[in-house]
Amino acid sequence: MRLSLLITAALCTLGAQTPSPAQWSHDPILNNPLCTAAGDQSYPCMVSDGEGGAVVAWTDGRGIDNDIYAQHIGATGATLWTANGLPICLARNDQTAPAIVSDGAGGAIITWTDSRSGNNDIYGQRVSGGGSILWQPGGIPICTAPNDQVASTMVGDGTGGAIVTWRDLRNGTSYDIYAQRISSSGATRWTANGVPVCTAPNRQTDPAIAGDGAAGAIITWLDNRSGKADVYAQRVSGAGEPGWNRNGILISESGSDERNPAIIGDGTGGGIITWRDARNGMNYDIYAERVNGSGSIQWAGNGIPVCTAAGDQESPQIIHDGLRGGIIVWTDNRNENGDIFAQRLDISGNVQWVADGIPVCKAPGNQMYPAITLDGLGGAIIAWLDCRRGEGDIYAQRINGLGSPEWAADGVAVCTSPGEQFNPAIVNATGRCAIIAWYDYRTATNSDIFSQRIDRVGYLGDASPHLAGVESAPGEGERTIRVMWNRSYVDTWPNQTVTSYAIWRGVKLSARERADSLAGGRRAGRETQHRSPARASFAKQSDQWLSWVSSLGTNGEDTIYWEYITSVKPHWLKGYSYTFPLRADADQPRSTQEYFMITALTPDPLVYWDSEIKAGPGAAIPPLPPSQLSGRFAFPSSRLLSQFAFPSFSGRSGKKGSSIPR
């Protein structure tokens, strides 16, 4: 079996792929399988691919030992690599506990705990978005020091590489914290086997890491140098030098045990750290602290209370809120069973929602192990393990920046398949959507990896209509356009949600038009007032404006200016089309490219879905003679309701509710 797996790995390295044509499931009982191979697949980790999809890695038991596999799931739900996953490492003995970050180019860097040498070491591999193994087969050694190195975690370094940290037993008596930086080519950039982050007496465990915005990182961990677990942190520069005190600075020493530290960067070179803390008695609460880039504590000593409600609060996770603050989510036992609660902190440490947090889910049974990602609007999308039906399912909820739930009370069912589901991981999938992955016992014989997309309004899969084509209509040359689209999946009986489809047409400004717009109309005014003597001066100024606009890169360049055309009523049909005349002027040719988009509308003005954007069939259209213009472009004024400007983000609609292009 090992030989056959090695052959599979070689084929994958050479680019052999068998992509699946599957689309995102709309059914919480079905979902999208990523791996259903023999043996157990477990503990998925994932990262966005930047294009609406994700790269997922997991521990895989299909062989005689545990190995590391990965899969790329695209924006449409299709698996893009080898069926049942691409082998990342098939070395002898066990490979477990993968961690993952984006490589900034659509692929990922994956690290894991590796026992090929007889004790545990840290290895890593980079895989491209196309499924090519980019570093040496079997992975590069990150740390092979004596004794065990385990529990790696990492953050991108901003240059296509990563900074990895782990707990390290090389001293033979207790765990310390070490770190290493890896370049995008797989070269280790610091001291062989890593630099010491903390080698204080007694054990240090549970490292967590965040970028410092300057190619370095801030690492936090649990530290037993005082005889109990406290929270410490250290900043490591891009060159591997410690930025603060040797062996780190104290974040919290509350007189009792702390657990589960998590961290984000604060956007100013420092970090916000959260943990659970038993300082108030027998129960654990949630605390947080901010440290700046110089290592100075910014909030109250030993942290500020995030939640001190009755019962245990556990497993805190934190993400950015987009305003240099953070959103923290945790498992909460104040109601005698596990619920999910959350709180938002600003950069000054002020709680932004109600005291002790807002309930994300208070359904019967236990809810636990929350995972969180941003929603793109200052809020968050949260997934968790949910036992309201007596067995573990996956549910999710979106919380807006004000702390209000956006979806159904107590969350939306993501997976309710028979059998247990565990360990949800979540990433933002652009367009305010999320992709969730977990390991799943629906077959009752072994665990598999499944995934599901959920959109900004809590619908599973992709409810958007999809443009099938934009073409010149037969018999009309290039003067009439036909748009064709496939229906939204909620344009079906008996659960009709879509009430109409809106057709939009848009154009982008040319570089000169953008320059004129930024100039505030000065060009036209100067041409009118100084037609002769100032023409050369104006031309020079105009060229300077054009050069400045080009240097901006964005600022209008990707903006599509949308015009409403008409609406079409749904009729539970699989496909629709509409034909209408091109826009054209009588006195000059049309020189700009036109773009088209379809929106599926519902009775709720906040619930709608945009299709992908497609360009029309050409740009330069000669004008019609005036004698042929009469009656050809007689749109009723009701069809030209309004014009809006939305950024397209490289082909995506920037409108609220935008979908992922196919």
CB 59 within 8 A of CB 96: yes
| CA nearest neighbour of 321 among 256, 376, 360 | 376
| Residues 131-169: tens digit of each pLDDT | 999 999 999 999 999 999 999 999 999 999 999 999 999
Read off the pLDDT of residues 208-222 as tens digits, 9 standing for 90 and up: 999 999 999 999 999
* DSSP assignment string, 489-517: TTSSSSS----EEEEEEEE---HHHHHHH
Is residue 541 classed as helix, strand or coil in its secondary structure? helix
Please tell me the number of Cα atoms within 13 Å of 621 on its side-chain side.
24
Find the farthest-apart pair of alpha carbons in the chain and give their distance in angstroms, rounded: 93
3-class DSSP assignment, residue 562: strand
Measured in whole angstroms, how far is the alpha carbon of residue 560 from the centre of its chain? 24
Q: Does an H or E element contain 523, and which?
A: helix 522-529
Cα separation, 648 vs 597, in Å, equals: 11
398 phi and psi, to 5 degrees?
Answer: -110, 130
DSSP class of residue 637 equals: G
pLDDT of residue 494: 84
Query: Residue 189 has what DSSP assignment?
Result: -
DSSP state of 551: H
Backbone region of residue 120 per phi and psi (left: phi > 0; alpha: psi in -120 to 50; beta: other values): beta
474 sits in which H/E element: none
Looking up tokens 């196919």 gives: 662
Contact at 8 Å (CB) between 30 and 413? no
Distance CA 231, CA 204 (A): 10
Residue type, 90: L
Say how far apart CA 134 and CA 131 lie, in whole Å: 9
Element at 3 (helix H, strand E): helix 2-13
Choose among 355, 396, 392, 338: nearest CA to 372.
396
pLDDT at position 508, please? Answer: 87
What is the spatial order of strands in the sheet that 95-102 belongs to?
Answer: 95-102, 108-114, 121-127, 140-143
Pull the structure tokens for residue 425: 């991981």
List the chain domain ranges.
Answer: 466-528+552-647
What gap in Å lies between CA 98 and CA 433, rounded to an integer? Answer: 24
Contact 571, 487 (CB under 8 A): no
Q: Are 243 and 296 in contact (CB under 8 A)?
A: no
- Strand order from edge to edge, sheet including 339-345: 313-320, 326-332, 339-345, 358-361
Q: Taking the CB of residue 494, how many other CB atoms lie within 10 A of it?
A: 5
Contact 405, 397 (CB under 8 A): yes
Q: How far is residue 226's CA from residue 229's CA, in Å, rounded to a whole number? A: 8
634: which DSSP letter?
-
Distance in angstroms between the alpha carbons of the first and the last residue of the chain: 37
Tokens of 527: 């041409």
Q: How far apart are CA 412 and CA 395, in angstroms?
A: 5
Looking at residue 1, what is its pLDDT? 36
Give the Cβ contact number of residue 109 at 10 Å: 28
What backbone phi and psi angles, to 5 degrees, belong to 273?
-115, 140
| Cβ count within 10 A of residue 638 | 8
Considering Cα of 547, then 553, then 556, then 561, what sign does the dihedral take?
positive
> Per the structure block, which two tokens stand in for 166?
């782990």
User: What does the alpha-carbon distance between residue 245 and residue 200 come to, in Å, rounded to a whole number?
Assistant: 12
DSSP at 488: P
CA dist 72 and 82 (Å) reads: 9
For 165, which DSSP code? E
Stated pTM of the model? 0.84
**DSSP secondary structure code for residue 297 in this structure:** B
Task: Give me the phi and psi of 87, to 5 degrees please.
Answer: -70, 120
- Amino acid identity, residue 636? P
Question: What is the per-residue burial (b if ≥16 Cβ within 10 Å, else e) of 149-174?
Answer: bbbbbbbbbbebbbbbbbbbbbeeeb
The whole-angstrom separation of Cα 660 and Cα 586 is: 37
Ranges assigned E (strand) in 278-404: 285-291, 304-307, 313-320, 326-332, 339-345, 358-361, 367-374, 380-386, 393-399
| Residue 616 pLDDT | 87
Cis peptide bond prior to 494, omega within 30° of 0? yes
CA dist list (Å): 638 to 63, 565, 567, 606: 65, 9, 11, 22
Report the C-alpha gap between 356 and 333 in whole angstroms.
12
Question: Which amino acid belongs to residue 80?
Answer: L
Of 120, 125, 117, 249, give the one whose Cα is nearest residue 184.
125
Nearest alpha-carbon partner for 220 in 189, 284, 264: 264
Low-confidence spans in the chain with pLDDT less than 70: 1-22, 475-478, 511-557, 583-591, 618-662
Distance CA 207, CA 166 (A): 6
